[in-house]
Amino acid sequence: MQAMLPPGALPGDELRLQRIRRLEDEILACQRCPLAQTRTRAVPGEGNLNAVVMFVGEGPGFDEDRQGRPFVGRSGQFLTATLAQFGIERRAVYITNVVKCRPPQNRDPLPTELEACSGYLTRQIELINPRIIVTLGRFSMRRWFPEGAITQIHGRVRNIGRGRIALAMFHPAAALRNPTWQSAFVQDMAKLPALIERAERANAAAARGEALPAGAPHPGDADYVA
Ligand code: SF4
């Protein structure tokens, strides 16, 4: 499964879809780091081309490596169920990881692997252009919240520039291992509907050529906590 065009897609969306499909093909054939030697399939990501929200996890696990899709195992089911709990359809969002190939035995990705794969996520963000990036786990968190432990940072919302915010959350696999973190995961996800509503209002205003409504992040805004 790849990026999809939503119903009512705009004229420029077809070109953008072609560009993201080419990027996905590039990832599927990538040999830039040693994880290419041990993967079954690379997992570029999937979801709505016009998603307001992009979820960024750590890397594919056993099931994802076999199926070539992100977050399809137990932690993915938990993520999907928690989204549904707050009225968010999985098909409305885009889901990917900081490394696109499974580290052996689900070990942490190495700094060299993160570096080698980083450009793909940058290009996905440019193409999907989400207003909200939700980091799942400490490896994606560090890209936008480099300063602390996830136990302190989770739940924080940060302006990351270009009209985007990031929300830091535990990885769903970690949440499933720890009841306290599981509660925190649900509480942090509870912030998302209001953030989405504000982002959609900002997109609608931008489409009408109006100034962004109050509360929509602008480049240069100070950090804030929701
Ligand atoms: S993890 Fe990223 S950089 Fe490494 S082989 Fe896979 S797609 Fe390429």
> What backbone torsions phi and psi does residue 83 show, to the nearest 5 degrees?
-60, -50
On whether the CB atoms of residues 60 and 51 are closer than 8 A, the answer is: no
Contacts of residue 102, Cβ cutoff 8 Å, sequence gap at least 6 = 35, 38, 39, 40, 43, 59, 60, 61, 62, 64, 65
Residue nearest to atom 3 of ligand 1 (CA): 117
pLDDT bin (cut points 50, 70, 90) of residue 116 is very high
Mean pLDDT of 84-97: 97
Q: What is the pLDDT of residues 35-76, one digit of tens each?
A: 999 999 999 999 999 999 999 999 999 999 999 999 999 999
Rounded Cα distance, 114 and 110, in Å: 6
Q: What is the C-alpha to C-alpha distance for residues 93 and 103, in angstroms, rounded to an integer? A: 25
Residue with tokens 């915010």: 165
Task: Note whether 143 and 120 are within 8 A (CB).
Answer: no
Residue whose CB lies within 8 A of the most ligand 1 atoms, among 24, 99, 102, 122, for a mutation test: 99
pLDDT(19) > 90? yes
Domain boundaries, the chain: 13-207
How far is the CA of 187 from the CAs of 132, 176, 182, 191, in angstroms?
Answer: 17, 14, 9, 7
Instruction: List 47's β-bridge partners, or say none.
Output: 3, 94
Separation of 32 CA from ligand 1 center, angstroms? 6
CA 39 to ligand 1 center in whole angstroms? 9
pLDDT at 222: 45
Task: Judge contact between 83 and 57, C-beta under 8 A.
Answer: no
Give 42's contacts (C-beta < 8 A, 6+ positions apart): 27, 28, 29, 30, 36, 68, 100, 101
Q: What is the identity of the amino acid at 28?
A: L
Fold classification of 13-207 (topology level): Uracil-DNA Glycosylase, subunit E (3.40.470)
For atom 5 of ligand 1, the residue with the nearest CA is 36
- Please state, rounded to an integer, the average pLDDT across all residues of the chain: 91
Q: What is the pLDDT of residues 127-150, one digit of tens each?
A: 999 999 999 999 999 999 998 899
At 214, is the secondary structure helix, strand, or coil? coil
Per-residue pLDDT tens over the stretch 152-189: 999 999 999 888 999 999 999 999 999 999 999 999 99
Report the distance separating Cα 109 and Cα 192, nearest Å: 27
Burial of 46-64, coded b for 16+ CB within 10 Å and e otherwise, reads bbbbbbbbbbbbbbbbebb
Q: Give the pocket of ligand 1 (CB within 6 Å).
A: 27, 30-33, 35-36, 42, 99-101, 113, 116-117
Tokens of 148: 């602390």
Cα(158) to ligand 1 centroid in Å equals 28
Question: Which atom belonging to ligand 1 lies closest to the Cα atom of 44?
Answer: 7
Contact 71, 64 (CB under 8 A): yes
What pLDDT, on a 0 to 100 scale, did the predictor assign at position 205?
82
